[in-house]
Structure 1
Amino acid sequence: MATYTIRVLNSSGFTKSYVLFMQPPQVTSTGGQPVVYTNAWVTFGSIRPGSNDTVTYTDETYAYWATATLPIAPGTTMGQGGVAAVDTSKNDSVPFVGSGAIGFGTVAAGGAMSGSYRIIATNDFNASNGYLFGLARPGNVPGIPSPVATFLAEPNDTFNVTPVINFYVADGAYTAGQVIDYTVASTNAGAVSFTGRAQTSAVVTQNPDGSFTTQYF
């Protein structure tokens, strides 16, 4: 399993907080194409000028469920939730039970599209439960996956999730798991992608003019 490191270097001249987030995955369902929301994956609080902070993570992938107060929008935080480790190389499938012992059932290989996993929702809940599904990855706290993308769960439906392994660093103070506006946050962000690279470490620097540059090592 590959291990990656992203270091955020603050050369802006001001004390800044930063957030690391991912490009939203491609999500399709039996009923259509759900709206996918981006979560603050890793947060870096109050980095002083000339200082840096680092996150080291693996390429582990998790199916994610949670509750939230609807409607979901930028600023929404996640409530109770859970994860199930999935393998996109095996196109894993995982059922979700919405009543009684709420959560994911046993993960089984196969069923999802290539490079994806799928969540199979039963018909034992409805919109009033406020359930959310999504994608999670290891984040700020080792061993505890953090949501990186979220969409509304619908009963009696199947959701195919294809991760897009592109990352962004933007300045701003967020709570880990909080829904952010991807369109706005990614506009002036530093981009990181290890796809097709031999390097597994990157330094994202915010420059004095506010722009970002990325170097790989």
Structure 2
Amino acid sequence: MEVLKVSRVRVFSEVQIWAHKHLIHVVGLLLFTGLPFFSKDLFGWVAYVLGYPVALFIGGNVNSLGLEVARWLHRLAAIVLIAISAVVFFAEVPRAKKWRIWPKNVGREVRKLLDYYVHKKRVPFDKYNIGQIAWTWFVIIGIAVMIVTGLIMWFKPSMELVTVAHELHALGAALFMIGLVIHIYAAIGIPEHRPMVTAMFRTGDLPEEYLKEHHPLYYEVVRSERK
């Protein structure tokens, strides 16, 4: 019996796949270790969990030790985040024209988004819809802001700057947590998005028929590049 091959299209680079995988671990560690500094009343248990094993060996106040452990793990994760961001920047900026995250008509794209998700209509999307584009820009700008404000709090050039940086850092962390919940739900909870998850984390490619149905504008670009 003849087995039909499914034609596939490369949509994500190896660097994008690599960065996405590792950002999950790094961002998760950053959020977790940042919780006790965000609110000691709500998340003091994080400091206790981190400090208890250390206190067993060297003694001392569990909560104080936990905060110190959280602080240094947070800084270590931040250094890794900076390194990942640098790799992505230098690898991907030369390909910026192919990112397709530059919306031409925001109002029209928002209406398409509503038609697709609310009214269940088949609409012509490019590689990303406006929600995915907004999330991408939020992550790019957000990571830059979090790195800058984090470095200010670490090296403390002035207390005035540290105060402002702390407020922006805390706000950014809260927005990131909300955004991540929405992003994860959209990726996993909506069935038609799941092939994109597999592509981003494993294969880097999508079936041609999937692109034709869900991202027809991008599919036309791919077809024209093949000619």
* TM-score, L = length of structure 2: 0.21
- Looking at CA atoms only, which structure, 1 or 2, has the larger radius of gyration? 2
Structure with the higher helix share, 1 or 2: 2
* TM-score, L = length of structure 1: 0.22
